[in-house]
Amino acid sequence: MSLERGSLLSTLSRFTMVRVTTGFLFAAGIAYATSEANTVLNAVFSVDASSMPLARAFLVAALFLKLLWPAFVVLGIIAVISLLMVSAHLKWWVKDERFSTEYREFPLRTLLLAVAAIVVAAVYTKTMRQAFNEADLPEKAYRLAMQLDFNPSAYCLPTQAGQRYLFIGSNQDKVLIAPIPLGEATLQSFATAKSQGMPDFSLPPVHVVSCASSPT
């Protein structure tokens, strides 16, 4: 029987304790990722992260994926077992004298499962190590907020080239002014490794002004 035909997951899902535990772990993971995203954005901009809901949502998703590494370890184990099954079939195919009279179906789906598991695990590992390592996370958070939450102008302030504006505060009566970082960054670059040629990044100074006054 090929590995993918097993009913382990469907059997486990019938137990209430398994469903409750899975739901609890999922909720705990989301809560932890949200807390970490808030910490990163607060460290970068020194304001409440709720002012940047779109950037925070992307960060929560990325940080939650980082917590799923045990699942990808299991995926790697499944890939190894699948490859061993395929190897056993090939060994029989080459050495068994009964090959000419006995038919055995080649475990194609098992092989495809192993290849898919290896590809997914490799992409996950590369993305987590290169795109979401701790050193580059503040830069990605800054550039992401620039793309999603900041505005090119503020109605109560004179627009200046090279700056972006974000209304903050419970009454939206304050404006966070942040300079645009050097180098082009897109949403696609958020989930990829740091682009070659991107200048070294250091957190630029940001400041908050009242919407009724001019920045100093």
Whether 142 maps to a domain, the answer reads no
Assess whether pLDDT exceeds 80 at residue 11. no
Whether 146 maps to a domain, the answer reads no
Same domain, 46 and 121: yes
- Please list, in sequence order, all residues whose beta carbon lies within 8 angstroms of the beta carbon of residue 182, skipping any fewer than 6 positions away: 199
Burial grade of 110 (CB within 10 A; 0-12, 13-18, 19 or more): buried
Same domain, 160 and 115: no
Same domain, 94 and 9: yes
Instruction: Report, as an integer, the average pLDDT of 171-200.
Output: 69
At position 94, the amino acid (one-letter code) is: V
At position 18, the amino acid (one-letter code) is: V
Same domain, 48 and 117: yes
**52-79 confidence digits (pLDDT tens):** 999 999 999 989 988 888 878 887 888 8
What is Dmax (Cα atoms) for the chain? Answer: 90
Output 31 or 132, whichever has higher pLDDT: 31
- Which helix (H) or strand (E) element contains residue 209? strand 207-210
Contact between residue 70 and residue 29 where contact means Cβ atoms under 8 Å apart = no
Same domain, 123 and 159: no
Tell me how far CA of residue 155 lies from CA of 138, 148, 162, 186, in angstroms.
28, 18, 17, 26
Same domain, 121 and 16: yes
Percentage of residues of the chain with pLDDT beyond 90: 21
Total structural domains in the chain? 2
Same domain, 44 and 126: yes
Whether 141 maps to a domain, the answer reads no
Output 209 or 76, whichever has higher pLDDT: 209
Q: What are phi and psi of 166, to 5 degrees?
A: -140, 125
Domain of residue 170 covers: 152-210
Whether 135 maps to a domain, the answer reads no
Least-confidence region, from 2-6, 11-15, 168-172, 207-211: 2-6
Contact between residue 78 and residue 113 where contact means Cβ atoms under 8 Å apart = yes
Distance CA(195)–CA(68), nearest Å, equals 25
Averaged pLDDT of the chain: 78
Same domain, 56 and 93: yes
Strand intervals (E) in 37-93: none
Assess whether pLDDT exceeds 70 at residue 184. no
Least-confidence region, from 2-11, 52-61, 87-96, 199-208: 2-11
Considering 130, 160, 176, which residue would you say is the last residue of a domain? 130
**110-146 confidence digits (pLDDT tens):** 778 888 888 888 888 877 777 777 888 888 888 889 8
Both tokens of 27, joined, read: 């909720």
Of 71, 216, 50, which Cα lies nearest the Cα of 145?
50
Whether 119 maps to a domain, the answer reads yes
Distance CA(185)–CA(84), nearest Å, equals 43
Q: What is the pLDDT of residue 183?
A: 63
Contact between residue 36 and residue 63 where contact means Cβ atoms under 8 Å apart = yes
Same domain, 98 and 45: yes
Whether 60 maps to a domain, the answer reads yes
Distance CA(121)–CA(51), nearest Å, equals 34
Same domain, 122 and 162: no
> Listing from the earlier edge strand, what are the strands of the sheet with 174-179?
163-168, 174-179, 207-210
